[in-house]
Amino acid sequence: MRVEKRSVGDLAVFGGEPAFAEPLHVGYPHVGDRRRLLERLDGILDSRRLTNRGPLVRDFERRIAEYAGVRHCIAMCNATVALEIVTRALGMRGEVIVPAMTFVATAHALQWQRITPVFCDVDPRTHTIDPACAEALVTPRTTGIVGVHLWGQACDVEGMQAVARRHGLRLVFDAAHAFGCTRRGIPVGGFGDAEVFSFHATKVLNAFEGGAVLTNDDGLAEKVRLMQNFGFAGEDRVVHEGTNGKMSEMSAAMGLTSLESFDRFVEGNRRRYRAYRERLRSVPGIRFLEHPRDERGNYHYIVVEVSGDRYGLERDELLCVLRAENIRARRYFYPGVHRMEPYRSYFPHAHLLLPRTERLVRRVLVLPNGATVDEAAISRIAEVFHLAHRHAEAVRNRLRGSPRTLAATTASGATSHVSTTH
């Protein structure tokens, strides 16, 4: 039953009934053709081939490589392990430059190997790594750069490649958000020395849990494939150090099923993005992240920046209002990787070099998306935005009178069952 939001007293923070009986989440998983998935799972059980690069994994690798237009795809258990393996295979050590505006796994994949992540600021329009800022951070200890494609759009690939060439650095792109996207008409997947995709449950194309390394470098591909299977080059012949990064047949079954429905997923995302834009375009202080019209995107993340002086409420105050309505928006990537442990202890003054990131992590809000969010739900979400804006002073006074509510509501984002994980 629809809950009308006509007056400020109807807002849940004032005691009104929440707009949604069940929480609406960011990154709600796509499933695809359930019948086709179950057929594949039955086939796996019948064959007893559950892992160790079975036929579905090989098919998934082939089809992902074809889609991205690259020679090699090495499927992995997740993107974090994929990033760890490829940076190690490339010989990265010492210092590696990464944006601070990213999921913490990007930095963890380096720190786990005792590589020092050096945090770089971003372009305030795109939220992606700024090549000029990256170049200013290069030192004699720098061996590589990990650029991040964010929110379904590529970063300045050409700028990052130029920096890497000038300084003889390895270049990897964390493309966890960017499957199906292009840069200057070229599919993401073949840039730099290698790119890493995520196929986690929250991604536009999911494999339950999964990731992949994509590259056009034959030698690198061979090394990565060895390293993700303990270094085995035959039944009992180990020729390289390695670990266990293999994708299972179950994950490949889900990945193939997702890939078959990928265009439908993207079209649904695009419709929801346009519906959000239409219903929120008249709200002051709400700026949508723009998607380049001449590029292909996946529209998986509905990203806005909240300008408190124009909207009337700060981002965290609006978040409190939304969460009370069971609208589980998220603060990405608050408070910034540089302010998370162990990095805030290692680099306590990093924020002084990251003014754009500092500003963004206090303004960015990611709104619910996915098949469970229809246009009617978007209209109800928009009602809350409009109502909270029109009565911003009353809402702020209410929140100030209940500081525990504000603190508990914003902190609860860390315990949501979905995330932007690798």
pLDDT at 415: 40
Domain residue extents for the chain: 8-26+262-329+368-415, 34-260
Q: What is the pLDDT of residues 369-391, one digit of tens each?
A: 998 899 999 999 999 999 999 99
Cα separation, 219 vs 332, whole angstroms: 36
Sole residue written with tokens 């932007």: 420
Nearest to 21 by CA among 13, 29, 12: 12
Q: What is the pLDDT of residues 154-168, one digit of tens each?
A: 999 999 999 999 999
Q: Which residues of the chain have pLDDT under 50?
A: 413-418
Burial class (CB in 10 A: 0-12, 13-18, 19+), 385: buried
pLDDT at 402: 72
The architecture that CATH gives domain 34-260 is 3-Layer(aba) Sandwich (3.40)
Q: Please, are residues 328 and 402 in contact by the beta-carbon 8 Å criterion? A: no
Q: Which residues of 50-75 are buried (b: 16+ CB within 10 A; e: fewer)?
A: ebebbebbeebbeebbebbebebbbb
Cα separation, 21 vs 27, whole angstroms: 18
pLDDT at 418: 46
| All residues at 6 or more sequence positions from 285 whose CB lies less than 8 Å from its CB, including other chains | 306, 307, 308, 309, 310, 311, 312, 389
pLDDT at 417: 39
pLDDT at 422: 79
CATH class as words, domain 8-26+262-329+368-415: alpha beta
pLDDT at 371: 87
The β-bridge relationship of strands 116-120 and 95-99 is: parallel
DSSP class of residue 28 equals P
